[in-house]
Amino acid sequence: MVGSTVDVNISQKTLSFAEYLEYSGEPGVLYELDRGQLLEMPTTTGLHNLICKILTVEFLRHLVSENLNLVAIDLTGVRTEENTSRIPDVVVCHQSFWKKVCERKGAAVLNFDEKPLLVVEVTSQNWRDDYGTKRAEYDRLDIPEYWIVDSERERVRLCSKISGESSYAERDFLPGDEVNSAQFPGLILPVARILDPPDVDYLVREELRLRQELAQLERQLNAERQRAEAADRRAEAAIQRAEQLAQYLQALGIDPDTIN
């Protein structure tokens, strides 16, 4: 998503990338840098936020399951040109890059040498920028994969770098389809789940409830196993006592089998 130019005195001045990193605007407002000009990011809708949250969670789930040294984060800047920095809705990058960003002062922005592997833009009122300006910048930066999630047109457009090709190849996924990531082949997400996402907070609570139920079941199984082991030990002890008694009777000249 791309916002409008900031209507304040600072917008009349062209900022360098270094100045942008240190710029402090209105509290709670995010700014992109477009060739030295500040762009104020528009307020997002509830659906927009839900889509971003579910994608971040699903990406993280996949990265952890595959034991990849990567992170999925939202609203982190990506420097695309000398004096241009965009703020994708979701970014997937190396953990080492994100650690470097966190250790630096100023705005959280991935620099040229910290290129992400995947970026996502969820379209808003300035959807043309996601399909045009940002697509071109991410393409020139050679970001391997770019998703455009368009709830208005009910589709997910996947732009990916194919070996031997100089620009993005595109594929649209519609409701009923599953998005197959080119960068992460094991990452498969239903379009319907992306465009009409469940509440992530509910998913977290539900997952916690299932884990608690599983833990309770494991405790019950362990208790049953311990009771069974105790019963086995008692049975083994009884057998040993019976064998000892039989040996004692035999020593007295008594055949145990003749005793009723």
Shared-domain flag, residues 135 and 170: yes
Shared-domain flag, residues 234 and 167: no
Global pTM exceeds 0.85: no
Shared-domain flag, residues 67 and 180: yes
CA 84, CA 72: separation in Å to the nearest integer? 22
Number of structural domains, the chain? 2
Shared-domain flag, residues 163 and 215: no
**Domain contains 32:** no
The average pLDDT across 82-95 equals: 96
The average pLDDT across 152-162 equals: 94
Shared-domain flag, residues 135 and 64: yes
Q: Which three-class secondary structure state does DSSP give residue 184?
A: coil
Domain carrying residue 251:
203-258
Contact 250, 256 (CB under 8 A): yes
Q: What pLDDT, in 10s, does the model give residues 2-33?
A: 454 444 444 557 899 999 999 988 888 899 99
- Residue 59 is predicted with a pLDDT of 95
Percent of the chain with pLDDT over 90: 57
Q: Are strands 77-81 and 109-110 parallel, antiparallel or unpaired?
A: parallel
**What CATH number does residue 57 fall under?**
3.90.1570.10
Shared-domain flag, residues 89 and 175: yes
Residue 179 pLDDT grade (very low, low, confident, very high; cuts 50, 70, 90): very high
Residue 211 pLDDT grade (very low, low, confident, very high; cuts 50, 70, 90): confident
CA 2, CA 126: separation in Å to the nearest integer? 6
Q: Which of 178, 75, 171, 175 is nearest to 119 (CA)?
A: 75
Which H or E element spans position 173? strand 169-173
Q: Are strands 155-160 and 145-150 parallel, antiparallel or unpaired?
A: antiparallel
CA 87, CA 51: separation in Å to the nearest integer? 16
- Residue 36 is predicted with a pLDDT of 95
Shared-domain flag, residues 169 and 50: yes
